């Protein structure tokens, strides 16, 4: 049985590790259960381990194409499965160490930080201002005049697979509405399409805009109905600390896959 939850319009499926078969293969399950049209139209599949006292809450995430990645929005939404009591906890998500904060406004996530994380020099020559960031996955942020005027299905794929980017990149386009507020649209790896929100894309965009503007808090309006708040403590030389994304999350219910669907795994 899958539990379904959402964050910023993205919908994820969750399985508990003590309830799956011994031969569970997350990549195979994600390829069958997630894709639009053939599966449930999920933005990703999570395997959750029961929280243990004094240890990070462990979980693993796979994209619809079966790739094993870190996912910030899905991690925030996972908090629906253990309640919304105010407080913080550490989590280990597909190998990335992050922190979750639950309060009345929703769930916040502090992204991994350290020497490997932050804004990076770009090898790209683009006509638009842009930035690269590493959150555990690569993100390219491109500033445009109007995000609604861009045909993202044409604009994003050449950048997502750009030969100068060894691992490709998630591609987000932004335009600033006013100081502290911006619009964003995102094309994500693994989904290979536009999603309602890329939480890490929002975080990297917020860090870049904070570095440029000196404003340490930015609110992003993605395609989904809920805005995403991004705050950063500091970002010397592009290496952020206390980079948080936050917003509401909701548990949507449960699904029982048909045996014929499970037979494809």
Report the C-alpha gap between 220 and 174 in whole angstroms.
9
Contact present, 264 and 32 (Cβ < 8 Å):
yes
DSSP 234: B
Partnered with residue 139 across adjacent β-strands are: 133, 170
Q: Which residue matches tokens 């280990």?
A: 92
Q: Which residue matches tokens 């790739």?
A: 67
Active site residue 202: no
Alpha carbon 111 to chain centroid, angstroms: 10
Report the C-alpha gap between 247 and 229 in whole angstroms.
6
Of 71, 80, 197, 202, the active-site residue reads 71
Contact present, 111 and 75 (Cβ < 8 Å):
no
Report the C-alpha gap between 29 and 194 in whole angstroms.
22
Residue 177 neighbours by CB under 8 Å, 6+ apart? 183, 221
Of 80, 197, 198, 202, the active-site residue reads 198
Report the C-alpha gap between 147 and 210 in whole angstroms.
20
Active site residue 71: yes
Catalytic residues: 71, 198
């Amino acid at each position: 049985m899958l539990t379904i939850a959402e964050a910023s319009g993205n919908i994820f499926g969750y399985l508990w590790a003590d309830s799956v078969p011994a031969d569970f293969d997350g990549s195979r399950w994600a390829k069958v259960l997630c894709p639009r049209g053939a599966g449930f139209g999920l933005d990703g599949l999570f395997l959750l381990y029961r929280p243990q006292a004094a240890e990070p809450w462990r979980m693993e995430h796979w994209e619809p194409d079966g790739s094993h990645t870190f996912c910030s929005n899905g991690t925030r939404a996972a908090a629906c499965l253990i309640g919304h009591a105010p407080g913080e906890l550490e989590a280990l998500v597909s190998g990335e160490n992050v922190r979750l904060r639950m309060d009345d406004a929703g769930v916040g996530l502090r992204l991994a930080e350290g020497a490997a994380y932050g804004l990076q020099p770009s090898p790209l020559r683009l006509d638009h201002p842009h930035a690269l960031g590493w959150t555990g996955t690569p993100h390219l942020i491109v500033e445009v005049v109007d995000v609604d005027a861009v045909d993202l299905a044409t604009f994003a794929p050449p950048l997502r697979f750009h030969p100068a980017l060894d691992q490709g990149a998630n591609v987000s386009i932004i335009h600033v509405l006013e100081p502290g507020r911006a619009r964003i649209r995102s094309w994500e790896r693994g989904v290979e399409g536009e999603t309602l929100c890329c939480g890490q894309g929002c975080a990297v965009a917020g860090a870049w805009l904070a570095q440029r503007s000196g404003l340490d808090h930015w609110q992003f309006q993605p395609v989904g109905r809920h805005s995403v708040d991004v705050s950063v403590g500091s970002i010397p030389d592009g290496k952020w600390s206390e980079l948080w994304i936050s917003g509401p999350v909701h548990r949507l219910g449960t699904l029982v896959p048909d045996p014929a669907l499970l037979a494809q795994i």
